[in-house]
């Protein structure tokens, strides 16, 4: 059980990473088989989350059955594409590069009021257009790469990078993704660089969020388990850090759900009728 060092209370994030890697490998094998797919598609950003997803997909399906996509924009950091190539080489997966600049700038040309923040969301959604189109072309299922911290904070583009139907990392905090990435052999250059969505030049995740992932993750784990603020403060966390974590989680619940539908029948999907995952026929 590898422990998390350098943060108070970090032991709550400790995981048996070889066991987690084996479980997530089986998870991908089973989920793709249930949906009738033998191939997967991963948008590789050059960051640790997508590199870890790529590693798991190659392990589950064989690198020959994984399509890796790099989808740079003219404003993307050059190292993002370099690190996407590095990840693809590390796991023996061919990488296809498609420049999304014409797609994004075509829209930007008719919206002179487009702010950097909105443009970042346009980039993320343009990438999903390409990912899902090539999913049909290659008969490969798109895999999500978002981690639990991002999902809880709503730190993703709605109907953008949260869109893929299967996500192996969605219940792992960012801190735990780093641990799993190390276990799977993600290259050191990717492991050690500051996390960034790379949607706005110069952007970093932790500057946007206002605190470090490692501290945020410990607060999140205690908060979700119902520990009072006073207990978390006693571990060594400041009141403003706890407030910030709770604020981010509580104001973004809507981003973690399907569209809100007015219920007018006794067969409303997700309300009375069985969820698809409850209704699946078990594979033999």
CB 142 within 8 A of CB 131: yes
Asked whether residue 98 carries a pLDDT value surpassing 80, the answer given is: yes
CB 17 within 8 A of CB 169: no
What's the mean pLDDT in 227-239?
97
Residue 30 lies in a domain: yes
Angle between helices 174-184 and 17-35 (to 10 degrees): 90
Report which DSSP code applies to 157.
Answer: -
Question: Would you say the pTM of this structure is higher than 0.85?
Answer: yes
Question: For residues 195 and 218, what is the distance between their CA atoms, to the nearest angstrom?
Answer: 18
Report which DSSP code applies to 15.
Answer: B
Q: Which of 30-39, 78-87, 142-151, 255-264 has the lowest mean pLDDT?
A: 255-264
Nearest to 190 by CA among 53, 6, 8: 53
Q: Which residue has the tokens 């070889």?
A: 18
Residue 110 lies in a domain: yes
pLDDT band at 282 (very low <50, low <70, confident <90, very high): low
Residue 5 lies in a domain: no
Scored b (16 or more CB within 10 A) or e, 205-241 reads bbeebebbbbbbbbbbbbbeeebeeeebeeeebeeeb
- Residue 140, both tokens: 């490969």
Question: For residues 42 and 38, what is the distance between their CA atoms, to the nearest angstrom?
Answer: 14
Residue 113 lies in a domain: yes
Residue 283 lies in a domain: no
The parent domain of residue 65 ranges over 10-278
Residue 2 lies in a domain: no
Task: Give the DSSP letter string of 201-221.
Answer: TT--HHHHHTS-HHHHHHHHH
Question: For residues 157 and 123, what is the distance between their CA atoms, to the nearest angstrom?
Answer: 9
Structural domains counted in the chain: 1
Nearest to 58 by CA among 41, 43, 75, 70: 41
Asked whether residue 159 carries a pLDDT value surpassing 60, the answer given is: yes
Question: For residues 19 and 6, what is the distance between their CA atoms, to the nearest angstrom?
Answer: 23
What tens digit of pLDDT does each residue of 183-230 get? 999 999 999 999 999 999 998 999 999 999 999 999 999 999 999 999
What tens digit of pLDDT does each residue of 40-50 get? 999 999 999 99
Q: What share of the chain is helix, strand, coil (3-state, %, to 5)?
A: 50, 5, 40
Asked whether residue 283 carries a pLDDT value surpassing 70, the answer given is: no
Question: For residues 226 and 224, what is the distance between their CA atoms, to the nearest angstrom?
Answer: 5
Residue 84 lies in a domain: yes
Residue 201 lies in a domain: yes
Task: Give the DSSP letter string of 227-271.
Answer: --HHHHHHHT--HHHHHHHHHHHHT-GGGGSPPP----SSS-BTT
CATH for 96:
3.40.50.620
């Amino acid at each position: 059980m590898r422990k998390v060092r350098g943060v108070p209370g970090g032991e709550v994030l400790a995981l048996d990473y070889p066991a987690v890697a084996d479980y997530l490998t089986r998870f991908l094998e089973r989920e793709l088989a249930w949906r009738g797919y033998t191939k997967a598609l991963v948008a590789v950003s050059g960051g640790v989350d997508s590199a870890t997803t790529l590693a798991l997909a190659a392990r589950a399906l064989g690198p020959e059955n994984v399509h890796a996509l790099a989808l740079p924009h003219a404003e993307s950091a050059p190292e993002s594409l370099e690190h996407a190539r590095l990840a693809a080489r590390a796991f023996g997966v061919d990488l296809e590069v498609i420049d999304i600049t014409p797609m994004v700038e075509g829209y930007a040309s008719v919206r002179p009021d487009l702010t950097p923040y909105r443009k970042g969301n346009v980039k993320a959604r343009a990438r999903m257009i390409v990912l899902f189109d090539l999913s049909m072309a290659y008969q490969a299922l798109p895999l999500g790469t978002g981690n639990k911290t991002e999902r809880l904070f709503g730190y993703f583009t709605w109907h953008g990078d949260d869109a893929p139907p299967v996500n192996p990392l969605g219940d792992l905090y960012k801190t735990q993704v780093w641990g799993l990435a190390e276990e799977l052999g993600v290259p050191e250059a990717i492991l050690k660089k500051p996390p960034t969505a790379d949607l706005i030049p110069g952007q970093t995740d932790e500057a946007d969020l206002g605190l470090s992932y490692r501290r945020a993750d410990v607060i999140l784990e205690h908060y979700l388990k119902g520990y009072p603020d006073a207990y978390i403060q006693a571990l060594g966390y400041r009141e403003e850090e706890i407030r910030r974590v709770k604020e981010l989680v509580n104001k973004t619940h809507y981003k973690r759900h399907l569209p809100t539908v007015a219920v007018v029948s006794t067969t409303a999907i997700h309300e009375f009728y069985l969820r698809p995952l409850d209704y699946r026929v078990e594979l033999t």
